[in-house]
Amino acid sequence: MSERAAKITPADGEEQDDDQITDSATPDAVTEVDTDADAGSEPTPKPVTTGAESVIRALENAGVEYAFGVQGGAIMPVYDALFDSDIYHVTMAHEQGAAHAADAYGIVSGEPGICLATSGPGATNLVTGIADADMDSDPLVALTGQVPTAFVGNDAFQETDTTGVTTPVTKDNSFSSDPDRVGSDVSEAFALAREGRPGPTLVDLPKDVTKAETDREPDEPRVPETYEVQERADPEIVAAAAERLENANRPVMLLGGGVIKGEASEACREFAIEHEIPVVTTMPGIGSFPEDHELSMEMAGMHGTGYANMAITHCDTMLAIGTRFDDRLTGGIETFAPDAELIHVDIDPAEISKNIHADYPLIGDAETVVEQLRESVTTSPKATKWRAQCQQWKSDYSMAYDAPEDEPVQPEFVVEALDEATADDTIVTTGVGQHQMWACQYWTYTEPRTWVSSHGLGTMGYGLPAAIGARFAADDDQDVVCIDGDGSFLMTLQGLSVAVRENLDITVAVLNNEYIGMVRQWQDAFFEGRHSASDYHWMPEFDKLAEAFGAAGFRIDEYDDVADTIEEAIAYDGPSVIDVHIDPQANVYPMVPSGGDNGQFALAEDQL
Amino acid sequence: MKRGLDGPKPEERPTPSGRRNEQGIRIDPEVEATHTPRRTVISALVTHEPGVLSDVSGLFSRRQFNIESLTVGPTKNEAHARITVVVEEPDPGIDQIKKQLRKLVPVISVRELEPDAMRRELALVKVDADRPDRVAAVAEMYGGKTVDSCPETATIEVTGARQKIEAAIETFSQFGIREISRTGTTALARGTDSTGASDSASTADEVLSAETANQQRTQSPTHSTTDD
């Protein structure tokens, strides 16, 4: 890596382009040398000779194009096998970044993202990203090196019980102890990660197993027989649910992340529009329904719009699809949609009645079940008055903010300006905190798989590595924008070195208020303004830091800079960082206090 | 400048009259739905491979399910093992346990056993043997077997339902108990009913019937968990 780094002239992104393009194009240039087969036929891959080669073959068979990871002692045989593969490996600066990048790759592409790390610290550094993927049901495969089997259990150098550590945060994991089985274990992990409710899987790979000789080709990616997924919901319950919907006076559709993962966005759109049902999304469900549509009430929950929260609180029938009713959505259980009969569509039976009792449990694939409902619902609910009420709420609780010229820049303005400067299919990634909420509220999402964020786990530092992963999954002409906070960005900004090395066209806008802003907001509201450990007045100058890494750095201090600087940063062909100095006192509203009543959201601090 | 958003204040907004209980069930004013914990036996057939017991026990601990006992052992099929768990939870918790267990990839099937299922546990009770004849008499009374004896102590093996073991231990306590070791419950369904049959709530039908059953239970909370 040092050779390549030496080519980079700091603070001058343009000159490196040629090198970088050549570098990233290299994998395309690599073609299998085919000696046996006739000209014109598919090249025959080299036979597998080691466990490691079988691991890589399993990934190739599954159609994997990219892998994100960091080298290390126990994973070296796998990397050695990867050296000859067409799979493009993105060397990350930290394993946490590798897991987040793979996670984001999975969100944007729909196919499991792959991350690799060595044993011990490498594996434990992945854990945050794996846990993140687990909470958000993102397809991810983690491959970790392990000390040789003879040393396992003896506290050997860089030994950690990786399957033990990751059991609570993976959909499934395995310790692969047989060179003949190791490739099939990886195939199975890949299949499991995407089948049914997606999630992260992990295979722990002892060094002796990957080094060992084997000629066993891995099996096809297939889930174990014990893993059953139900595709179609019970027709009787579908019929009952359809009748309930037809007779609803105040219907609402609540679309969760499962709608996007189940590729059901289109079906949901058509269903909602056909029957004129107002649509609310959860945070992971953002993008499942176009937010510029009249029926869209946008996001509900703790920092959801006032109108979304009024709609879910007052509805009499809720068609919830692919959501697990997280407390950030429901607020206090006793006041969540208290008048509503709940029709709950989910592919995971365990989500049914876990938090909110489902009156009509519809277990199955989101797209299939919505199609079943479409066939069953013959008359639209008579809800003219309700729709008018929803529109009234939209104007009563509009997301309008003040942005006086003589005051510090308001974050909402920056988010809207970024949205305006980019196309509709732009992918937005974020860290976690106030900036994330503004990115939810003030960006108008219209397409699925364009919103990439850490929802369930709330992982600060997610934004930049996610932007890297998203960049590899995105179309070439699609913009990738990371809206980050100063505290979040500081946690994983070593990823900038990766973005520079790969010359990734990413724009990072750091909404810098020199606070862990969400904590500061809560301290002001609930801890008498005692800013314990939330004041980050020692933040570096992010624009200069970006230049030190070899990225383009920009800075915004006032409104006059906003439009031009954003335009310049977006136009820059490579990674750019805008250090946006926003109003440090800006807060996120509406807000439902933790465990509160969604209908009683606060619009300002004095209402908390 | 304004700090916050416009709109009617919280107290000026309409509020719905309904409520849900802590289990997320809408409260019907006619029938206040509350679920009290009940003790039940859940039997899971799992693939016999390393780490499965830890997966299962870890699931119970991280999801805060109240576990009374857990036993595991091989089955007729050597590739499978049976895990028998006794839990005490309200109905929605029991449902959730079954569903979460079924989600574990090595789990083949999960079912909750009927109250009339055969349940057995085993206890070894080591007592002072000052009065060996009376110890033997008590052991006989509970169908126990003396498995070890010396001039100072006698160790008796008792098997049976939990209540019987408890009663035996209480009776043995008159001799002065030195040590006790007990297993958890193991259980099988009665007659031709297969313990390994899937009760995994993997079909919507089963879930709905489970939900309905729950509601019925709510209204008539009379569960006789009669041990045999």
Kindly report, residue by residue over A388-408, the tens digit of the pLDDT: 999 999 999 999 999 999 999
Does residue A498 register a pLDDT over 90? yes
Does residue B220 register a pLDDT over 80? no
Q: pLDDT at position A590, please? A: 98
Q: pLDDT at position A24, please? A: 45
> In a mutagenesis test of the B interface, which of A197, A204, A226 is the best target, namely the one with the most B β-carbons within 10 Å?
A226
Backbone angles phi, psi at A338, to 5 degrees: -70, -20
- State how far the Cα of A325 lies from the Cα of A59, in Å rounded to an integer: 34
- Cβ B5–A398 below 8 Å, yes or no? yes
Measured between CA atoms, the residue of chain B closest to residue A356 is B24
pLDDT band at A45 (very low <50, low <70, confident <90, very high): confident
Does residue A12 register a pLDDT over 50? no
Residues 6+ apart with CB under 8 A from B110: B42, B43, B44, B45, B98, B101, B102, B198, B199, B200
Percent of chain A with pLDDT over 70: 93
- State how far the Cα of A121 lies from the Cα of A132, in Å rounded to an integer: 18
pLDDT band at B209 (very low <50, low <70, confident <90, very high): very low
Kindly report, residue by residue over A337-372, the tens digit of the pLDDT: 999 999 999 999 999 999 999 999 999 999 999 999
Mean pLDDT of the A418-429 span: 98
Q: How, if at all, do strands B107-112 and B38-47 pair? A: antiparallel
Residue A582: its chain B contacts at CB < 8 A?
none
Q: pLDDT at position A170, please? A: 98
Kindly report, residue by residue over A134-156, the tens digit of the pLDDT: 999 999 999 999 999 999 999 99
Does residue B40 register a pLDDT over 70? yes
- Cβ B2–A314 below 8 Å, yes or no? no
Backbone angles phi, psi at A483, to 5 degrees: -95, 115
Mean pLDDT of the A39-49 span: 75
Residues 404-463, chain A, touching B (beta carbon < 8 A): 404, 407
CA angle A197, A107, A455 (to 5 degrees): 80
Does residue B135 register a pLDDT over 80? yes
Does residue A31 register a pLDDT over 60? no
Q: What is the DSSP string of A397-444?
A: T-------TTSPBPHHHHHHHHHHHS-TT-EEEE-SSHHHHHHHHHS-
Q: pLDDT at position B23, please? A: 86
Does residue B225 register a pLDDT over 90? no
Q: Across A283-340, where does the E strand assignment appear?
A: 296-299, 317-321
Note the ipTM here: 0.87
pLDDT band at A133 (very low <50, low <70, confident <90, very high): very high
In 3D, which of A578, A192, A585 has the Cα closest to residue B106?
A192
- State how far the Cα of A516 lies from the Cα of A460, in Å rounded to an integer: 10
Q: pLDDT at position B27, please? A: 85
Among A357, A599, A604, select the one facing B15 at the smallest CB separation: A599
pLDDT band at B28 (very low <50, low <70, confident <90, very high): confident
pLDDT band at B134 (very low <50, low <70, confident <90, very high): very high
Q: pLDDT at position A41, please? A: 62
Q: pLDDT at position B207, please? A: 41
Q: Which residues of A are catalytic?
A: 95, 157-158, 207, 518
Kindly report, residue by residue over A206-251, the tens digit of the pLDDT: 999 999 999 999 999 999 999 999 999 999 999 999 999 999 999 9
Structure tokens, B192 = 């031709």
Mean pLDDT of the A18-47 span: 53
Measured between CA atoms, the residue of chain B closest to residue A227 is B105
Residue pair A507/A452 in contact by the 8 Å Cβ criterion? no
Among the residue ranges A56-70, A162-176, B51-65, the one predicted with the least confidence is B51-65
Residue B13: its chain A contacts at CB < 8 A?
310, 599-600
Kindly report, residue by residue over A297-332, the tens digit of the pLDDT: 999 999 999 999 999 999 999 999 999 999 999 999
More confident residue, B215 or B31: B31
Provide the shortest C-alpha distance from residue B214 to chain A (in Å).
11
Residue B205: its chain A contacts at CB < 8 A?
234, 236-237
Residue A349: its chain B contacts at CB < 8 A?
99, 102, 200-202, 207
Does residue B150 register a pLDDT over 80? yes
Q: Across B28-152, where does the E strand assignment appear?
A: 38-47, 67-74, 80-89, 107-112, 118-128, 145-149
Structure tokens, A480 = 């990738």
